[in-house]
Amino acid sequence: MATKKKTDILLDKEQLKASIIRHLRSTLGTSEEKASQESWWKATAAAVNEQVYERLTRTQQTHLKQDTRAIHYLSAEFLMGRLTSNNLHNLSLYKVCDEALADLGLNLSDLCECEPDMALGNGGLGRLAACFIDSLATLSYPAIGYGIHYEHGLFRQEIQDGRQIERPDSWREYGNPWEICRPESVQEIPLYGYVETVFCDDGHMKKVWHAGRKIKGVPWDIPVVGFGGHTVNILRLWESRASEFFDWDVFNAGGYLDSQAEKAQAETISKVLYPNDETEAGKELRLIQQYFFCACSIKDIMRRYKRAHGNDFSHFADQIAIQLNDTHPTIAIPELMRVLVDEEDLQWEKAWDICYRVFAYTNHTLLPEALEKWAVYLFERVLPRHLEIIYEINSRFLSEKVEPMWPGNDAIKAKLSIIEEGDVRKVRMGNLCVIGSNKVNGVAEVHSRLVKEDLFPEFDQIWPDKLCNVTNGVTPRRWLLACNPELAALYDEVVGKEWPLKLDLLRSVVKFADDKAFQKQFMTIKRHNKEKLVEVIKAETGIDVSAEAIFDIQIKRLHEYKRQQLNLLHIMALYRRLLADPDYDMHPRVFIFGSKAAPGYKLAKDIIYAINKVAERVNNDVRIKGKLKVVFMPNYRVSLAEKLIPAADVSEQISTAGYEASGTGNMKMALNGAITIGTLDGANIEIAEEAGEENCAIFGLTVDEVKALKARGYNPYDFYYANSEIKAVLDWFDTDYFTPGRPGELSSIKRALLDGGDTYLALADFAAYSEAHRKIDTWYCDPSLWAKKAIINSATMGKFNSDRSIEDYVARIWGLKSCKVG
């Protein structure tokens, strides 16, 4: 018999049972008789952690010994979701754990439901970061994720009388078994104060920042288990604390309350994750949050580097790569400059050369309101030294790069400057990112083209090789293996068990797309997943739906550009058609939404209200014989996505072309056999390329057509008057049909689409969207045709494995070597 490698899975069922019971008693302090489900879950996690920690230590020892280049992924958001089932799968312990718990009279998936989501992100950007660290560990790259240990993640959404109510999310109220506090790596961070210019004995000038306050950064490590369990990297999240917990002098002087206020202030920094909001509120705190986690991370990176190389910075840029996930961590650029120049006494040019080689930046949106700018006066107060450094970076950039290329052209200078002039002068974080990074990437082909052509065209002229593309991806471990066990088992059987690492292998399934027996297996699995979702819908909303119907799902943050309102208009149009003709020919359809609106985004909240009010009316209207149902699932989050995605027949990806940078839910749903109804936007374009356009319901204006229509002057009234269905549906919003006795409650939606100018061209795309839905209906009525298309979609999504995205980052940006842990 072959001897087992050290990293082979070590635990059999009996050992795992013994370990769980031991932890139940000695870690949780309870007994088999008394233990709650939560305690069993934590005991299970503790048993798993024995495996995790051993591999974590081994990984860290290997990385230390090999001293290879590492990637440091800086992100204000990591939307991790739950970790139990993921860690079990990645350690190949899922099955044995399931059996061990069954022996103990417990059910693993029930225990997994005890775990609160780690909702430390808003949406796509944060979830992408989570998929990327999974892939980095899976591919054995030395990598560390750095972020913020928010006490409260994204708000929990309740729906009361159809309206969104925000409630605090307390994900670690009762403890989180997956995190480890590391007091030995605490950092101290300066804030506020003033800058002094000091003339040294040797005649040179030095800047000294005298901080007005110091904040403590306490790191919490979350082990990131790669698939196969060989590499365990870490996600390091910083929690803010008061630097002096208890100041006796202040206390004795009667200032106890003052000292407590200072403590509260310091702890506020990592208290809450900000929702994507346009409001001005909390601006200062947000800037401090960003600086706090970047400064802690840079200090941590420095500490590790110095441990191996002392004060010799000549290898720094060879050893360290830092990826900026959007502009949120941009302040890391001037912070590294400050550390190198002010604290390590490097020449500006040397320090800049290092910075430039270390940093790279990913852009995730073209929306102008989402591009960060900070008032100069705010910077001056909070980070006075950084503002000086930014001025210096800017002045060198303008004189060395812009002036030679566009001599005397002040308009170009004003446009490219890091500082925006105006009533309130502002620091443009996007410009700083591009100037301070050696690579800048968009997240899908079309998005990267627009980043080059529309967002940063002059920067592309200055540095023709800087702007590039890395198309997003999703981890097939969470988004197929763990969330869709039946389909995963089918793929194991048909293509072998390697597919979670090599998702391209699924392509060989295309040859079975016409095979009736395979179609039946595939659609039976879909049916099971839908039946499970039927139960979840009933439990969460009380609504009865039938698994016979087409499950049509739109899950994503609520934003006008994502066009949930277009989906709603079409639902209302279908309802009208059914009322006009009870025999209207359509397969029964359930439209399912999952979406949070930013608390300050009034219209987005109105759209949620409208969806719920339309749902109430439609779902209770016996005249339409259950042909149409509308479900709004409250509190959309990662763990809910894991239940919705495997049950989707139709994936709604209907953003106005040019606005959705990539999308990643589109990839997840197609991978699980949903057919996309979508515009040619973001990664939809690449999905349609892979699956074949005939297997997607593509509709609507293209990026260039959107631009042309806007340039011509778009008038939504043209469509309102020309299309009687549009007119009837919009006029419905002004009545009390959906809000009995309260007419006009839904009028804001009509107003935004007409008088508001319909910024995102919903009316212009309505007819095409409606046609695409007819096509979906026709396809679905031919079960074999539908099955074929669904199978091809799932089988051709290999490109959208986040492992492929990471290999692209490695090849195009990071230049890392993988480091196998023995």
DSSP letters spanning 435-448: HH-SEEEESSHHHH
- Which amino acid appears at position 492 of this protein? D
Nearest Cα neighbor of 215 from 270, 254, 150, 272 is 270
Residue 272 C-beta: closest distance to ligand 26V, Å:
16
Residue 126 C-beta: closest distance to ligand 26V, Å:
7
Q: Alpha-carbon distance 414 to 816, whole Å?
A: 37
- Which amino acid appears at position 47 of this protein? A
Which one from 327, 664, 679, 739 is the annotated catalytic residue?
664
Residue 578 C-beta: closest distance to ligand 26V, Å:
34
Residue 473 C-beta: closest distance to ligand 26V, Å:
10
- Of the pair 189, 797, the CB lying nearest ligand 26V is at 797
- Span 416-475, contacts to ligand 26V by CB under 6 A: 443, 472
Does position 115 interact with ligand 26V (CB under 6 A)? The reply is no
- Of the pair 131, 772, the CB lying nearest ligand 26V is at 131
Mapped onto helix, strand or coil, the DSSP state of residue 631 is strand
> 562 an active-site residue?
yes
Does position 276 interact with ligand 26V (CB under 6 A)? The reply is yes
Residue 325 C-beta: closest distance to ligand 26V, Å:
9
Residue 409 CB contacts under 8 Å (≥ 6 apart), including other chains: 402
- Select from 226-234, 251-259, 604-612, 657-665 the region that touches ligand 26V (CB under 6 A): 657-665
User: Which residue has tokens 């209906």?
Assistant: 777
C-alpha radius of gyration, the chain, whole number: 27
757 token code pair: 């100018």
- Of the pair 125, 633, the CB lying nearest ligand 26V is at 125
> 306 an active-site residue?
no
- Of the pair 365, 417, the CB lying nearest ligand 26V is at 365
Pair 487, 791: CB distance under 8 Å: no
Does position 226 interact with ligand 26V (CB under 6 A)? The reply is no
Closest residue to bound ligand 26V by CB = 124
Which one from 149, 562, 629, 773 is the annotated catalytic residue?
562
Residue 541 C-beta: closest distance to ligand 26V, Å:
27
Nearest Cα neighbor of 231 from 39, 104, 126, 90 is 90
- Of the pair 74, 112, the CB lying nearest ligand 26V is at 74
Site string for ligand 26V, 181-220 (x = CB under 6 A): ----------------------------------------
Residue 432 C-beta: closest distance to ligand 26V, Å:
17
Nearest Cα neighbor of 774 from 766, 250, 750 is 766
Residue 424 C-beta: closest distance to ligand 26V, Å:
18
- Of the pair 125, 647, the CB lying nearest ligand 26V is at 125
Q: By CB under 6 A, how many residues form the interface with ligand 26V?
A: 21
DSSP classification of residue 561: G
Nearest Cα neighbor of 223 from 451, 464, 57 is 57
- Select from 501-509, 514-522, 661-669, 727-735 the region that touches ligand 26V (CB under 6 A): 661-669
Q: Which of 124, 190, 334, 476 binds ligand 26V (CB under 6 A)?
A: 124
- Of the pair 41, 601, the CB lying nearest ligand 26V is at 601
Residue 722 CB contacts under 8 Å (≥ 6 apart), including other chains: none
Residue 559 C-beta: closest distance to ligand 26V, Å:
6
Return the HEC string of 344-390: CCCCHHHHHHHHHHHEEEECCCCCHHHCCEEEHHHHHHHCHHHHHHH
Residue 790 burial by Cβ neighbours in a 10 Å radius (0-12, 13-18, 19+): buried
Nearest Cα neighbor of 613 from 748, 725, 728 is 748
- Of the pair 442, 673, the CB lying nearest ligand 26V is at 442
Residue 649 CB contacts under 8 Å (≥ 6 apart), including other chains: 526, 530, 550, 551, 552, 674, 675, 780, 786, 790
DSSP classification of residue 596: -
Pair 719, 483: CB distance under 8 Å: no
- Of the pair 432, 523, the CB lying nearest ligand 26V is at 432
Nearest Cα neighbor of 669 from 654, 657, 627, 200 is 654
Half-sphere exposure of 146 (CA within 13 A, CB side): 28
Q: Which of 661, 698, 729, 810 binds ligand 26V (CB under 6 A)?
A: 661
Which one from 477, 668, 750, 804 is the annotated catalytic residue?
668
- Of the pair 598, 749, the CB lying nearest ligand 26V is at 598
Pair 669, 790: CB distance under 8 Å: no
Helices (H), 27-93: 37-66, 84-90
Residue 124 C-beta: closest distance to ligand 26V, Å:
3
Does position 278 interact with ligand 26V (CB under 6 A)? The reply is yes
DSSP classification of residue 184: G
- Of the pair 69, 556, the CB lying nearest ligand 26V is at 556
Mapped onto helix, strand or coil, the DSSP state of residue 702 is coil
Which one from 23, 149, 304, 556 is the annotated catalytic residue?
556
Q: Alpha-carbon distance 489 to 494, whole Å?
A: 9
Q: Which of 151, 221, 262, 326 binds ligand 26V (CB under 6 A)?
A: 326
Q: Alpha-carbon distance 118 to 393, whole Å?
A: 38
- Select from 18-26, 68-76, 119-127, 538-546 the region that touches ligand 26V (CB under 6 A): 119-127
Which one from 557, 563, 605, 789 is the annotated catalytic residue?
557
Q: Alpha-carbon distance 522 to 787, whole Å?
A: 7
Pair 542, 581: CB distance under 8 Å: no
Residue 664 C-beta: closest distance to ligand 26V, Å:
5
542 vs 537, 607, 619, 632, CA distance in Å? Answer: 7, 21, 11, 11
Residue 230 C-beta: closest distance to ligand 26V, Å:
27
Residue 28 CB contacts under 8 Å (≥ 6 apart), including other chains: 35, 39, 42, 43, 46
Pair 426, 448: CB distance under 8 Å: no
Pair 188, 217: CB distance under 8 Å: yes
Does position 682 interact with ligand 26V (CB under 6 A)? The reply is yes
Q: Which of 28, 79, 88, 125 binds ligand 26V (CB under 6 A)?
A: 125
Site string for ligand 26V, 701-740 (x = CB under 6 A): ----------------------------------------
- Span 78-107, contacts to ligand 26V by CB under 6 A: none
Residue 424 CB contacts under 8 Å (≥ 6 apart), including other chains: 375, 376, 377
593 token code pair: 């939404």
- Span 359-388, contacts to ligand 26V by CB under 6 A: 364-365, 367, 369-370
CB atoms within 10 A of CB 622: 6
- Of the pair 130, 159, the CB lying nearest ligand 26V is at 130
Q: Alpha-carbon distance 89 to 483, whole Å?
A: 11
- Of the pair 660, 758, the CB lying nearest ligand 26V is at 660
Which one from 364, 439, 605, 637 is the annotated catalytic residue?
364
User: Which residue has tokens 């494995």?
Assistant: 801
- Select from 35-43, 123-131, 500-508, 769-777 the region that touches ligand 26V (CB under 6 A): 123-131
Site string for ligand 26V, 544-573 (x = CB under 6 A): ---------------x--------------
Residue 199 C-beta: closest distance to ligand 26V, Å:
44
> 44 an active-site residue?
no
Q: Which residues bind ligand 26V (CB under 6 A)?
A: 123-125, 128, 276, 278, 326, 364-365, 367, 369-370, 443, 472, 559, 660-664, 682
Catalytic center residues: 364, 556-557, 562, 664, 668
